[in-house]
Amino acid sequence: MGLENKHIAVYVTGGIAVYKAAEVVRGFIRQGAVVRVAMTQDATKFVTPLTFGALTKQPVLTDLFAGDNDQFVPHIALADWSDLAVIVPATANVIAKMATGLADDAVSTTLLATTGLKVVVPAMNEHMWDAPATTRNIATLTADGVVVMQPDTGLLAEGYSGRGRLPEPSAIVDFVQHVWAKQTGRLRGRNVMVTAGGTRERIDPVRYISNDSSGKMGYALARAAANEGANVTLISSIISLSAPDSVHVITVSGAQEMLDTMKTYFAQQDAVIMAAAVADFKPVSVAEQKIKKTADNDLMTLQLTKNPDILKTLSVDKTDQIMVGFAAETEHLLTNAQHKLIDKKLDMLIANDVSRKDIGFNADQNQVTVIRPNVEPVQLPQMTKTKLSEQLIEMIADLLPGK
């Protein structure tokens, strides 16, 4: 889902951060949104409408009375067209106008006529942001259902550091996407726990046993669930990938720690997606100091003991949670996967052939078969892990009982 095909009206008001709004617009377009821009006269002094027109390939609204508007009532046309409105950068002036319902130019008039979701991204001098009037206006907007993104702290245009900076464009795009998902996504109000990566079973302070799992599938699933508005808890054994800000990431090492952490959150979950590649065995004991090689011993034996089966253990306490597992197989894919589905009491098992180098572990693409109890297996075509995650999240959302 996300912002794909959504109509976003971006309102650009006059401040030094206007140049960053161009990057925000590009970010929305990259997400598949259709963007139209309206600018205040002051904003056009920082960046011309031509920039936004070229980026969006849409006319830019700057003047309600300009004869070249292709719409008879341009402000109403833009207000009605938009699924959501983003005011970026939002000056203290436009915030004050929105709070009081003032409509004296193209931007403020169109915003007053907008009934859908509005997201305000303020940028101004710290003293203007802290002024009692701005605080009052922000409180009014929030009470009116407008979502306000908090400004960053950092170097301001005035040359000193303070609160009031426009956040980075990518953070703004993520924030808007998150707000939109929370209001409209299929998983809004749902709790989803996802695991990712190969567990690391410690041998000593500097060594561990692990496997080839990169965590990409788990991170893609966490992102896809967040894009549908879920409250996502991601239990990860790797630190090299990044998750959206809204995802609660908990880093763990071994299978036992993963299980203990999952147990803490399990009862509140609507769905658990176990994409982690859990090591089946761990060293019997973890050496406190780095193990040294000795001159008289060319052979080294590491004694291993079985790890708990996380899915099986959690299934014992299961109430309504939808339990989803993965089966990484190198042979007899369907037979082995069917067995795991039943053995681990799962609602869905996603089976993939890890003997193929182009898919599965570490690759960006995957090709899976989705297996469910008493339903014919569904073989999905090969696709990116991102696309696949979106499809799997759709299928998991279909299994959740209505709220």
The site for ligand CTP (CB under 6 A) is made up of 255, 274, 276, 278, 280, 307, 309-311, 325-328, 340, 344
CB of 171 to ligand CTP, least distance (A): 32
CB of 73 to ligand CTP, least distance (A): 56
Structure tokens at 10: 């971006």
CB of 346 to ligand CTP, least distance (A): 8
Closer residue to ligand CTP (CB): 234 or 278 = 278
Closer residue to ligand CTP (CB): 212 or 245 = 212
CB of 354 within 8 A of CB of 302?
no
- The torsion region of residue 215 among left (phi > 0), alpha (psi -120 to 50) and beta comes to left
Closer residue to ligand CTP (CB): 114 or 366 = 366
Is the preceding omega at residue 169 within 30 degrees of 0, hence cis?
Answer: no
Catalytic residue among 5, 211, 352, 366: 211
CB of 117 to ligand CTP, least distance (A): 37
CB of 348 to ligand CTP, least distance (A): 10
Closer residue to ligand CTP (CB): 80 or 309 = 309
CB of 400 to ligand CTP, least distance (A): 19
Q: Are strands 304-306 and 281-283 parallel, antiparallel or unpaired?
A: antiparallel
Closer residue to ligand CTP (CB): 89 or 325 = 325
CB of 376 to ligand CTP, least distance (A): 21
**Residue 71, C-beta contacts closer than 8 angstroms, at least 6 positions apart:** 77, 78
Q: Is 211 a catalytic residue?
A: yes
Query: Three-state SS string across the chain, please?
Result: CCCCCCEEEEEECCCCCHHHHHHHHHHHHHCCCEEEEEECHHHHHHCCHHHHHHHHCCCCECCCCCCCCCCCCHHHHHHHHCCEEEEEEECHHHHHHHHHCCCCCHHHHHHHCCCCEEEEEECCCHHHHHCHHHHHHHHHHHHCCCEECCCEEEECCCCCEEEEECCCHHHHHHHHHHHHHHHHCCCCCCEEEEEECECCEEEECCEEECCCCCCHHHHHHHHHHHHCCCEEEEEECCCCCCCCCCCEEEECCCHHHHHHHHHHHHCCCCEEEECCECCCEEECCCCCCCCCCCCCCCCCCCCEEECCCHHHHHHHCCCCCEEEEEEEECCCHHHHHHHHHHHCCCCEEEEEECCCCCCCCCCCEECEEEEECCEEEEECCCEEHHHHHHHHHHHHHHHCCCC
Closer residue to ligand CTP (CB): 97 or 340 = 340
Which active-site residues does the annotation give?
211
